[in-house]
Amino acid sequence: MAETTYLDAIRRALFEEMERDANVFVMGQDVAQFGGAFRVTKGLYERFGRLRVVNTPLCESGALGAALGAALVGKRPIVEMQFADFVSCGFNQIVNNIARTYYRWEQPVPFVLRLPFGGGAGAGPFHSQSPEAWFAHVPGLAVVAPSTPADALGMMKSAIRDDNPVVYLEHRFLYRREKESLGEGEQLTPLGKARVAREGRSITILSWSWTLHESLAAAEEVAREGISVEVIDLRTLVPLDEETVMASVKKCSKVLIVHEATATAGYGAELAARIADQAFEWLDGPVKRVTYADRSSPYNKHMEKALLPGREAIVAALRKLARY
């Protein structure tokens, strides 16, 4: 069976949901004929036309606010940022308008924010960011970050159907690199459920998106040395699936948190905090993090690589933790 890339899985989700529900529409810069900077929306315009695949001028805030307006009266907008880094230009609409509407006056806001994010491409400080922690801190936003094509498909479909604003982080490095065979028919991944990506006994890795793959590779590597690592793919960061996380932590008693965002006040800190609170008695070692260094992303690839939390850094951290 043909393999589907992570990118094609997202496109399939958009296509299927737009077919299913005429209220679903896509909006963003260059998303129509051009199909978006990464060509994720390629082909949608031809099928659904300009009122459901809406090119906007270069205005993140305007587009996000407009999405809210449309959502209030029954539409289910999906807004693409050309790069996640540009979301800061529409920040207020997300964190104060979209996120808070339901709590304030109980009007649901079905809305998906597509954020092509992350580094590894030597794209410099403004095309490499991982902004999930900002959104995780805002009550009323769900934050998801699939790492496989199956979840990219299934979580996008679930996000579109959910009556809440969902920040959907899609890793640009995975777009064309991750592939797998997906069945036909309806495939939904539930929001709010983590996935045990690899079973193990002595160290739990908590990760998501690109670093999930680096973590799996690292786990594989240290397995040869007799270190048994369980890898949890969080998939949904908010709300957190504490059940799955704590079960693994309590089983393994050591934890490594791996994410691509910078360390300080990153989402990994929240994971560490919950573990240090809820699983304290089960811990046999310090809760460790492997993350991007607290710097902007340098343009130079080697520099970027030095700061990225890749397989080698994870392996080193696992070894240290195993020895602890």
Partner 1 sequence: MAEQTAGTPSPTTLRRAHFFMRLSRAWDSRFESMARAGNIGRWYSAVGNEATTVGAALSLLPNDALSTVHRDLGAILTHYLDPTRLAPALFEPQDRTAWDALRPDPGALLHRLASQVLGRRDGFTRGVDRSFHYGLIDRATGLRHVGMISHLGAMIPVAAGLALANLQDGNQNVVVGFIGEGATSQGDFHEALNMAGVMKLPLILVVENNRYAFSTPLHEQFACEKLSDRAPGYGIAGETFDGTDFEAVHGAFERALARARTGEGATLLEAMLPRMRGHAEGDGSYELIAADERARWLTHDPLPRFEAWLTRIGAADAARIAAVQETATAIIEAAVARGLATPEPELHEAWRNPFAPGPVADAFARQHAEVTRG
Ligand X SMILES: Cc1ncc(C[n+]2csc(CCOP(=O)(O)OP(=O)(O)O)c2C)c(N)n1
The residues in 21-40 that bind ligand X, with binding defined as CB under 6 A, are 29
Instruction: Select from 4, 82, 129, 297 the one that contacts ligand X (CB under 6 A).
Output: 82
Binding part of the chain for ligand X, among 82-90, 98-106, 112-120, 256-264 by CB under 6 A, reads 82-90
Does 107 bind partner 1 (CB under 8 A)? Our answer is yes
Does 187 bind partner 1 (CB under 8 A)? Our answer is no
Total residues binding partner 1 (CB under 8 A): 104
Does 294 bind partner 1 (CB under 8 A)? Our answer is yes
Instruction: Select from 177, 179, 193, 198 the one that contacts partner 1 (CB under 8 A).
Output: 193
The residues in 135-154 that bind partner 1, with binding defined as CB under 8 A, are 139-140, 142
Of the pair 22, 276, the CB lying nearest a second copy is at 276
Total residues binding ligand X (CB under 6 A): 6
Does 86 bind ligand X (CB under 6 A)? Our answer is yes
The residues in 48-77 that bind ligand X, with binding defined as CB under 6 A, are 58, 60
Binding partner selected for residue 287 from partner 1, a second copy, ligand X, none, CB under the kind-specific 5 to 8 Å limit: a second copy
Q: Are 167 and 141 in contact (CB under 8 A)?
A: yes
Binding partner selected for residue 149 from partner 1, ligand X, a second copy, none, CB under the kind-specific 5 to 8 Å limit: none
Instruction: Select from 55, 187, 228, 253 the one that contacts partner 1 (CB under 8 A).
Output: 55
Active site (annotated) includes residue 127: yes
**Which of the residues are catalytic?**
127
